[in-house]
Amino acid sequence: MSATEHVRLLVIGGGPAGFTAAMYAARGGLEPVCVEGYDSGGQISRSPRVENFPGQPGAIGGADLAALIREQAVQFGARTVFDDVVEVELTASPFRIRTSGQDFLTDALIIAMIATKDSISIPP
């Protein structure tokens, strides 16, 4: 395990929501770190055809769209870490986020994790 790194903003999630948040934070000078799990790209990356994404006229493959969103966030200065978050401690500031390979302390946290149809329970 490497030394603990202190960052201003940490984003948990490597899908469109996470990388959009990271992109705007990077544009604002916050130097965000985006932790994208090994299942990067989010649920949209499994879609063979996306026709209704804002700012993307016409159809595009979900994996291609996810890659473009990630690329744009990185171009603005977001840093990505490929790892899985294993522990989040929010009882004190800065927050402590532990991945399987590194510890982070962060002043601000955005959680934009993947949801699947199996992970959401909607009452009848």
pLDDT tens by residue, 14-55: 999 999 999 999 999 999 999 998 777 888 888 889 888 888
Q: What predicted TM-score, i.e. pTM, was given to this entire model?
A: 0.85
pLDDT tens by residue, 93-113: 999 999 999 999 999 999 998
Q: Residue 47 has what pLDDT?
A: 83
Other CB atoms within a 10 A radius of the CB of residue 124 amount to 2
What's the burial of 70, exposed, middle or buried (CB within 10 Å: 0-12/13-18/19+)? buried
Identify whether 93 is part of a domain: yes
Domain count, the chain: 1
Identify whether 103 is part of a domain: yes
Torsion angle of C-alpha atoms 81, 86, 91, 93, degrees rounded to 10: -20
Structure tokens at 107: 């002043």
Identify whether 122 is part of a domain: no
Identify whether 28 is part of a domain: yes
Q: For all residues of the chain together, what is the average pLDDT? A: 89
Domain with residue 44: its CATH number is 3.50.50.60
Identify whether 117 is part of a domain: no
Q: What range defines the domain where residue 92 resides?
A: 5-110
